């Protein structure tokens, strides 16, 4: 989003390449007094996050909560994250399937937590950030915040349970084939001797949903169509 054109006062914030608590107050008061109401508004916040590498805690909280409420409750279908919303989010916060910043990673997790249900493509994409962090050419926001460990550590487990907590049913972890594939690939990349004991317990509790084979995807996570939803198409 390097070529994004900001209006006032976002242009002033972008010009100094950092966002502090006072900037968040200005955005609340002048730019988004009614909150995020369209995909154009959402793109402004995402562009500011990309353009300003210095983020205050106030900005991260505002960024995550505002975009989560818009995506889950502020655009149709309200109260649901469907494939269209999930595809837009994945395309927008990632480059080559890799989430760029910790704030965008937190947004991804919070959307999954707040939505009553999220598509398996979104949860698998979120889990896949661990796989990318374990590869030899480790990259991405999750790699940047992950404590160094050759195996699956407590930090990784906490992240995974934020994604899969709604999948627990009577002591079983009920997952789609797509989610299972990602977890198996993570298991293959990490060092078994360095695993947290709870990792093996989690893997042993997995039960796979009975889905047709076409539920498994061999294509990249992100939809290649570059057209973004418009406010008229997806917003109320």
- Given a contact cutoff of 8 angstroms between Cβ atoms, the answer to whether 40 and 78 are in contact is no
CA-CA distance, 158 to 66, in Å (whole number)? 24
| Mean pLDDT value of segment 220-231 | 49
Residues across the chain: 236
- Which tens digit of pLDDT belongs to each residue from 131-155? 999 999 999 999 999 999 999 999 9
Report the predicted TM-score, pTM, of the whole model to 2 decimal places. Answer: 0.86
Confidence of residue 220 (pLDDT cuts 50, 70, 90): low
Cα dihedral 62, 13, 87, 68, rounded to 10, equals: 10
Q: Given a cut of 60, is residue 36 above it in pLDDT?
A: yes
Give the pLDDT confidence of 182-198 residue by residue, as tens digits: 999 999 999 999 999 99
**pLDDT tens digit sequence for 191-218:** 999 999 999 999 999 999 765 434 444 4
């Amino acid at each position: 989003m390097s070529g994004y054109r900001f209006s006032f006062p976002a242009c002033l914030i972008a010009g100094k390449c950092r966002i502090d608590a006072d900037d968040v107050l200005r955005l609340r008061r002048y730019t988004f007094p009614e909150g995020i109401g369209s995909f154009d508004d959402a793109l402004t916040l995402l562009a500011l996050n990309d353009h300003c590498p210095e983020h205050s805690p106030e900005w991260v909280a505002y960024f995550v909560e505002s975009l989560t409420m818009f995506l889950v409750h502020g655009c149709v279908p309200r109260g649901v994250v469907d494939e269209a919303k999930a595809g837009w989010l994945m395309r927008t916060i990632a480059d080559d399937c890799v989430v760029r910043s910790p704030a965008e990673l937190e947004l991804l997790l919070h959307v999954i937590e707040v939505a009553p249900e999220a598509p398996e493509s979104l949860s698998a994409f979120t889990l896949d950030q661990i796989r990318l962090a374990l590869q030899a050419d480790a990259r991405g926001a999750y790699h940047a915040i992950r404590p160094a460990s050759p195996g699956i550590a407590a930090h990784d487990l906490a992240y995974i349970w934020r994604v899969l907590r709604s999948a627990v049913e009577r002591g079983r972890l009920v997952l789609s084939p797509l989610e299972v594939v990602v977890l198996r690939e993570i298991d293959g990349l990490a060092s078994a001797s360095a695993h947290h004991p709870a990792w093996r317990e989690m893997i042993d509790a997995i039960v796979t949903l009975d889905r047709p084979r076409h539920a498994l995807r061999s294509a990249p996570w992100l939809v290649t169509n570059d057209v973004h939803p418009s406010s008229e198409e997806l917003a109320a």
